[in-house]
Chain A
Amino acid sequence: MQNTLDGIGLHQLFTSGYRNLKKNMEAINDLNVFPVPDGDTGANMVMTFGGGLQAVSETESHVGQYMQGLSRAVLLSARGNSGVIFSQFVHGLYRGFAEKETVTFADLAEAFACAKEDAYHSIIAPTEGTILTVIREAAEFLAENAEKYDSFQTGFDALQVQMSASLKRTPELLSVLKEAGVVDSGGAGLVCFVDGICAHLHGESPEEIPDHMDWSAAPAPIASNFGPDSRLEYGYCTEFILQLMNYKTDLAAFDLQKFTDPLEQMGDSIVAVHNDGIVKIHIHTFTPDMVLGYARRFGEFVSVKIENMSIQHSQVQTAVQKEKVKYAIIAVAAGEGIKEYFESIGASYVIDGGQTNNPPVSAFLEAFAKFDAEHIVVLPNNSNIVLAANQAADAYTECDVRVIPTKSITEGCSALSMMSPWYDTVDEMVEEMSQNLGNVTTGYVTTAVRDANMDGMTVKKGDCIGLDGKHLMASEANRVETAKALVEKIMAATPKDVIIFFYGEAVTEEEVQELSNFLQEAYPLVDVGFVSGKQSVYDFIISLE
């Protein structure tokens, strides 16, 4: 029963909300039919809020201070239509909470009112039956009822019921949704976010929430082949962040409405946001050159993204020539060195992704379409990516696709090392590749990001820690000593035959040599390998098999 929350408590709520949003990202992507079927609402919302959460201080206890940081960080990482609206929703919450050190559930009424205001203001032509409606109805509900709930748990439970119902009504307000037989994707994302918050308040993890099976997925967007005779059907999805410049415009007098007026002549689906001299614009236009030229009269670009919407999610179709192969192995990995390593031991293509960057289904479909293969075998290499891989495998009709549900880079490595193009059947190959996955133990050496008391060990922020994937196993003076202690503990529990170290970009050759010497002496019979993984978060990812 939490009657008040501080910034840290709020961060935990949001983190749980985000995790559930991320968990449902693919389902949300599949719902996206409005305004154009580009299928990336879920990804955009995840990237938008995730980017904010990553940048914000999780130890800021003052609610107003915390929200200020979060709001700015979310805006900077905002992408896509729904992402920008979501970022404005967060900005509204910040306005509502700005002066508060702690908040109660009743405070949400004012915050949601601000959130509604900001969200509607960001859209030039607000459309009902979208995330905006879900936000508005939630704000109306809270204005009337927030006072009745003295705990966040009961309050959010009621809010969740209300918002789910609101979401289900979206097809009644927007015919394009009704035709496609789906609910609004942005609204669904917001409901997922709230579901995750409820889960946290009940002491559950978002992973325990059942999936939203009642959202019937929209038909997959039809990939179009944009060629010399194609028509520019949808124009360009154009997004940019503009830093207003003092020498070009009067910042104090800058009027977003006046700025966006001319844009309405150049395109539609406009989302515009202005905060502290930074303007973020999303527009669908046939003349992005005009839009950019106009915008540049006021400032300079921080970043620009322009995508042809006819091919936004079907770049695959424009691939010039496909490679004809019996087996294509598609792996997911992050870190230049690790990606290169996967390619060197037989991956046909490596999709960039991992724990913090789950590739969407479309990334898999794009990768599949690169090959004219008889069979495709997918190594997702992360438990959060297995689902997307499976969905892609189901959705792909060009050839047989198998997913080996590898849950880590190390499992992927184990599977891939057994790949050979000369197996008689794909079944035999998949069996051989899967055979040893149960024997793979993964060790991670990294730096603690906060003080913690875990598994009977006390560590301070900044300490080197060694984990076996689940438990804190070692913490020594430096990463090499930590790696040694971690390997010793894992080997003592279950002796292994092969140890592979993927060392991160911060690790020096001397450190590798020291580890190599140690292992040679301690485990002369073990096959030891070192791969320069160039990964960032973990100094060492250790595969013990």
Chain B
Amino acid sequence: MKDFVIITDSTSDLTLEMRQQFNIEYVPMQYIIDGVEFKASLDWESHSVKEYYDLMRNGLRIYTTQILKDTYLEAFQNAIDAGKDVVYIGCSSALSASIKVALLVAMEMKEQNPDAGIYCIDSLISSLGQGYLAMEASRKRAEGLSAADTAAYIESIKLCVNQCGTVGSLEYLRRAGRVKASKAFFGNLFGVKPLIISDRKGQNFAYKKAKGTANARIGIAEHIVEAANGVYEELFLTHADCAEEMELVKEEILKRAPFKKVTVNTIGPIVGASVGPGTVIAFCLGTEVTIEGNE
């Protein structure tokens, strides 16, 4: 059977170690600071985690760009040249237009290489939720599944990846405008934390509020435990330069549900630019997401 490469992108928040272990590649987006473009590196090549989030804390607005057509062309071509198919697991289409570019590139390339199998999946999620899908694909590949079967499998479970998190300050959400929420969320609220899930459309959706940080932790834990619905395999946690807060969220979840494995990482520069420092997000596989934000 034809081998395939698994490609994800800057929003997957996979560490170098994870990418090596699961043999996953990634295509980068860019972020722009003061007009200068930087590769949105999952390994923090240009700015350290602290440097990056301190820039935001100091009021700097960081802009991000989607993945360039050429970047996809090159990545997919390399695979084809090596005689491999491609499974690309991209950032939610509700958060980035990159996946649309990828689909276009794949279509064009197939016209010239009719035998090439290029499967582009809109993960409808980001951060380690997306990263988890890439690792899952890698496991299926190890089990001997083809690119097509792996892609079909990932499509079938992607809406079962549940997310719940909160931010350090509503200010960043207001500035970036990437989180879907009622108008009132962006009013001058004090001491209120939004609970942000990834909904059926892949939108980061502030669907509930919690009073204060401690209640927000409880809210996240309750949401995750309910979503996991008794199956406590893997828990994923990411944070935007607030490891201590993430530990507290972890404790709150593990108090309620004994997940067998906990994987943690920082939130990369792309997701980080829209949620801001102080954000903690938890993910797990569970029941299919039903909530759809529509305002």
How would residues 218 to 239 of chain B score, 1 for a CB under 8 Å from any chain A CB and 0 otherwise? 0000000000000000000000
A421–B188 touching, CB < 8 Å: no
A346-B182, A497-B212 known; A422-B207 Cβ under 8 A: yes
Give the interface segment out of B9-17, B69-77, B137-145, B189-197: B189-197
Cβ contact of A420, chosen from B190, B191, B209, cutoff 8 A:
B209
How many Å lie between the Cα of A45 and that of B69 in the bound state?
Answer: 75
A436-B211, A498-B212 known; A419-B190 Cβ under 8 A: no
* A-B interface pairs (CB < 8 A), number: 60
Q: Which of A406-459 contact B (CB under 8 A)?
A: 414, 417-423, 432, 435-436
User: B29: shortest Cβ distance to chain A, in Å?
Assistant: 30
How many Å lie between the Cα of A432 and that of B192 in the bound state?
Answer: 12
A345–B187 touching, CB < 8 Å: yes
- Contact of B184 with A by CB under 8 A: yes
Q: Which residue, of B183, B207, B209, has the highest number of chain A Cβ atoms within 10 A?
A: B209
A422-B207, A498-B212 known; A417-B182 Cβ under 8 A: no
Note all chain A residues with C-beta closer than 8 A to B190: 417, 498, 500, 527-529
A418–B212 touching, CB < 8 Å: no
How many Å lie between the Cα of A418 and that of B295 in the bound state?
Answer: 17
How would residues 164 to 187 of chain B score, 1 for a CB under 8 Å from any chain A CB and 0 otherwise? 000000000000000000111101
- Contact of B110 with A by CB under 8 A: no
A420-B209, A421-B295, A422-B293 known; A341-B188 Cβ under 8 A: yes
B207–A344 touching, CB < 8 Å: no
CB closest chain-A residue, reference B181: A420
B191–A497 touching, CB < 8 Å: yes
Note all chain B residues with C-beta closer than 8 A to A346: 182-184, 187
Q: Which residue, of A345, A436, A498, has the highest number of chain B Cβ atoms within 10 A?
A: A345
A344–B184 touching, CB < 8 Å: yes
User: B57: shortest Cβ distance to chain A, in Å?
Assistant: 14
CB closest chain-A residue, reference B206: A420
- Contact of B208 with A by CB under 8 A: yes
How many Å lie between the Cα of A16 and that of B168 in the bound state?
Answer: 50
CB closest chain-A residue, reference B211: A436
Note all chain A residues with C-beta closer than 8 A to B188: 341, 344-345, 529, 531
Cβ contact of B192, chosen from A341, A418, A421, A422, cutoff 8 A:
A418
How many Å lie between the Cα of A500 and that of B189 in the bound state?
Answer: 10
Chain A interface size, as a band, is: 20 to 34
How many Å lie between the Cα of A259 and that of B192 in the bound state?
Answer: 63
B209–A421 touching, CB < 8 Å: no
User: A330: shortest Cβ distance to chain B, in Å?
Assistant: 15
How many Å lie between the Cα of A179 and that of B190 in the bound state?
Answer: 54
How many Å lie between the Cα of A417 and that of B194 in the bound state?
Answer: 11
Note all chain B residues with C-beta closer than 8 A to A498: 190-191, 212
Number of interface residues of B (CB under 8 A): 19
A418–B184 touching, CB < 8 Å: no
A432–B182 touching, CB < 8 Å: no
How would residues 330 to 349 of chain A score, 1 for a CB under 8 Å from any chain B CB and 0 otherwise? 00000000000100111000
Note all chain A residues with C-beta closer than 8 A to B295: 421
CB closest chain-A residue, reference B184: A346
Note all chain B residues with C-beta closer than 8 A to A40: none
- Contact of A545 with B by CB under 8 A: yes
Cβ contact of A422, chosen from B183, B191, B208, cutoff 8 A:
B208
How would residues 505 to 545 of chain A score, 1 for a CB under 8 Å from any chain B CB and 0 otherwise? 00000000000000000000001110100000000000001
Note all chain A residues with C-beta closer than 8 A to B293: 422
A420–B189 touching, CB < 8 Å: no
User: B193: shortest Cβ distance to chain A, in Å?
Assistant: 10
Note all chain B residues with C-beta closer than 8 A to A531: 188
Note all chain A residues with C-beta closer than 8 A to B192: 417-418
Q: Which residue, of B187, B191, B192, has the highest number of chain A Cβ atoms within 10 A?
A: B191
A345-B184, A346-B184 known; A417-B207 Cβ under 8 A: no
B189–A345 touching, CB < 8 Å: yes
User: B174: shortest Cβ distance to chain A, in Å?
Assistant: 12
User: A9: shortest Cβ distance to chain B, in Å?
Assistant: 46
A344–B191 touching, CB < 8 Å: no
Note all chain A residues with C-beta closer than 8 A to B191: 417, 497-498, 500, 527, 529, 545
Interface residues of A (CB under 8 A from B): 341, 344-346, 414, 417-423, 432, 435-436, 497-498, 500, 527-529, 531, 545
Interface residues of B (CB under 8 A from A): 182-185, 187-192, 207-209, 211-213, 291, 293, 295
Question: Which 5 pairs, one residue from A and one from B, show the smallest C-beta to C-beta distance?
Answer: A498-B191, A346-B184, A529-B190, A344-B187, A345-B187
A–B Cβ pairs within 8 angstroms, 16 of them: A341-B187, A345-B187, A345-B189, A346-B183, A346-B184, A417-B191, A417-B192, A417-B209, A418-B209, A420-B208, A421-B295, A422-B182, A422-B291, A432-B209, A498-B191, A500-B190
Given contacts A346-B187, A545-B211, 13 further A-B contacts (CB under 8 A): A346-B182, A346-B183, A346-B184, A417-B189, A418-B192, A418-B209, A419-B209, A422-B207, A498-B190, A527-B191, A529-B188, A529-B191, A545-B191
